[in-house]
Amino acid sequence: MFTATCVAPVNMALVKYWGKRNEELILPINDSISMTLDANEMCAKTTVAASESFKENRMWLNGDEQPFQANARLQRCLDGVQRLALAHGGAHRFPLSWKVHIASHNNFPTAAGLASSAAGYACLVYTLARLYDVPLDEQLTTIARQGSGSACRSLYGGFVQWQRGSSADGSDSIAVQLSPATHWPNMHMLILVVNDARKKTGSTSGMQRAVETSALIQHRATQVVPQRSKELKVAIEKRDFNAFATITMKESNQLHAIALDTFPPCVYMNDVSHSIVNFVHEYNEEAGSLHVAYTFDAGPNGCLYVLDEHVPHLLAAIQLAFPNDAQQSVEYLKGIPVPAVAVKNG
């Protein structure tokens, strides 16, 4: 039996991916840019074993077996990595026909509903790549993308761009690292877990409905995102927190404006989420400049970006504004970006 075990961290989008031009290949309508968290803070851990004695491919997620054959995304990731293994001269250690058993766990509260598919599919594809001796490169990101779009960005640490690409087969829809986390070492992320999370429409169906019904989404994809991506890359390069925070908050707001422009509308943020937005704007106003930025994905939980030197003051203000015994309570998790995917070989 041959095994490999790896961990992959969660990433949080700054410029959001929202909308596909090809559902099956998971090709986006716009570029996106994200920051990857510390692998020890919030990550998926996956072990894959291949054996001559296994009768079929099987997969367990947090201890529960998942239907493998019925999951087209899972199958596509396995086929994709095996195809790359062949292209790299074939699996050296054992035949590709051997079946695999996959076990994956998340080390963060599943109830928080936080980007688990990004870490999960990145980890699955990376672990398969280790098993089949496939190197981490652009081609591997095109396989992770077919598990879950945002997963391709979790293969790299630091600041990462998923380029939409233009080819029909998706070969140029790849993730690239813009800069490692060491480039901006005093950047921190705080995840605000909103307690009363409402049931949401998943990202996949929410963005599909947005592409079909939103009158604003094409303007966003073709006019707004290209400009913002360019500006955000410069802000990251110059470590310009003011520009970084402005673009990040406007991006989050536009994602949720598009969600509301979807018909029927998708409502992801709740009252507590909106209180967090107000809190951040008031906090920055009092500080006299932008000290903190928020972003929200397809759910009510907030993610705050803040520089190291402002973390203690910000945490004190959060505890005052959102005391734990009040209705508007939030819990927080801290994250620091890491330079690369951490790996443990089994």
Which residues contribute to the site for ligand DP6 (CB under 6 A)?
Answer: 13, 16-17, 26, 32, 117, 148-150, 203-204, 297-298
The smaller minimum CB distance to ligand DP6, of residues 102 and 303, is found at: 303
The smaller minimum CB distance to ligand DP6, of residues 224 and 311, is found at: 224
Q: What is the dihedral of CA 269, 273, 277, 280, to 10 degrees?
A: -150
Give min distance, CB of 117 to ligand DP6, in A.
5
CA dist 12 and 293 (Å) reads 13
Give min distance, CB of 16 to ligand DP6, in A.
4
The smaller minimum CB distance to ligand DP6, of residues 120 and 339, is found at: 120
Residue 164, helix vs strand vs coil? coil
Give min distance, CB of 162 to ligand DP6, in A.
8
Q: Give the helix/strand (H/E) hosting 210.
A: helix 203-213
The smaller minimum CB distance to ligand DP6, of residues 77 and 81, is found at: 77
CB 249 within 8 A of CB 295: yes
CA dist 115 and 147 (Å) reads 13
Smallest Cα–Cα separation from 156: which of 129, 184, 181? Answer: 181
Q: Give the helix/strand (H/E) hosting 343.
A: strand 343-344
The DSSP code sequence of 300-319 is: S-EEEEEEGGGHHHHHHHHH
Give the residue at shortest CB distance from ligand DP6: 149
CA dist 135 and 341 (Å) reads 13
The smaller minimum CB distance to ligand DP6, of residues 12 and 100, is found at: 12
Smallest Cα–Cα separation from 84: which of 133, 27, 146? Answer: 133
Is the four-CA dihedral 183, 118, 170, 56 of positive or negative sign?
positive
The smaller minimum CB distance to ligand DP6, of residues 46 and 148, is found at: 148
Give min distance, CB of 249 to ligand DP6, in A.
15
CB 163 within 8 A of CB 135: no
Give min distance, CB of 89 to ligand DP6, in A.
31
Give min distance, CB of 25 to ligand DP6, in A.
11
CB 318 within 8 A of CB 194: no
Give min distance, CB of 220 to ligand DP6, in A.
13
Give min distance, CB of 183 to ligand DP6, in A.
21
The smaller minimum CB distance to ligand DP6, of residues 28 and 339, is found at: 28
The smaller minimum CB distance to ligand DP6, of residues 3 and 208, is found at: 208
**Bridge partners for 175 per DSSP:** 162
The smaller minimum CB distance to ligand DP6, of residues 91 and 124, is found at: 124
Give min distance, CB of 221 to ligand DP6, in A.
13
Q: Give the helix/strand (H/E) hosting 211.
A: helix 203-213
CB 201 within 8 A of CB 18: no
Smallest Cα–Cα separation from 188: which of 311, 58, 321? Answer: 311
